[in-house]
Amino acid sequence: MFRVLVVGLFVTALSSWSFAEEAKVPLKTEIPQEVLAGTPPDALLFLFPHLEKPLDKPPQLLVPPGTVNLAGKKKVTASDSLPVLGELKFLTDLDKEGTEQSYVELGPMQQWVQVDLEKPSIIYAVYLWHYFREARSYHDVIIQVSDDPEFKTKVQTVYNNDQDNSSKMGVGKDRPYIETNLGRLIDAKGVKGRYVRLYSRGNTANDLNHYVEVEIFGKPAE
């Protein structure tokens, strides 16, 4: 009798787990129009064959129902507090059209931007748009999550394409990619934290760092 009960409980638990997996829904967001005006992707791939080939359609990711963009209109800080062009608030202003008035340009070499979600959250995805008016690839793109605004404790890395550890933050397993209007969708796998910090270290066109929009999809942690 006990054995039958245990098996029954296991089957019930397995069924519940399967249902939870099936309950996920596609993540949805608006994709900006292509505004390519400079170097085309094929030319960049010829010069840098190690880069990941651009997608030909929007990426897809399944997330739990009720997942929303937690970053909209949230406060942004950065290692460069006086951007060369634009304003830090552009990162979360919900405008990702890629025009001259919708991106921020930070200084050369490694820089970071940081979004404060205002409360601990469960993060399922980070959707990122650097400058995409011409095909370029940003170096050492690293994304971390923490409850510490100084990122000194309990830091979790959800993305790292620094494959040669040139930023001295660990060797990344992700592949450098070419910027397009489709952006970069990153599976954060339900990591928990309040602050999201994004690094880059110049790009294939120049030493500067640019952001059009950052979306952080998740739910407040209970």
Domain hosting 165: range is 25-220
Predicted pLDDT of residue 16: 46
Residue 2 domain-assigned? no
Q: Say how far apart CA 200 and CA 187 lie, in whole Å.
A: 18
Contact predicate 58/180, CB 8 Å: no
7 occurs within a structural domain: no
16 in a structural domain? no
Q: How confident is the model at residue 152 (pLDDT cuts 50, 70, 90)?
A: very high
Question: Mean pLDDT over all residues of the chain?
Answer: 91
Residue 19 pLDDT > 50: no
Distance CA 54, CA 178 (A): 6
Which residues 6+ apart lie within 8 Å of 77 measured at CB? Answer: 88, 113, 114, 116
Assess if residue 12 is contained within a domain: no
Average pLDDT (51-59) is: 95
Strand partners, 146: 195
pLDDT in tens, 159-188: 999 999 999 999 999 999 999 999 999 999
Calpha distance 213→61 (Å, rounded): 19
- Give a yes or no: residue 201 inside a domain: yes
CATH (domain of 186) = 2.60.120.260
Q: What per-residue confidence (pLDDT) applies to 22?
A: 56
Total structural domains within the chain: 1
**Mean pLDDT (whole number) for 72-99:** 96
Is 20 a domain residue?
A: no
> If you average pLDDT over residues 124-150, what whole number do you get?
97
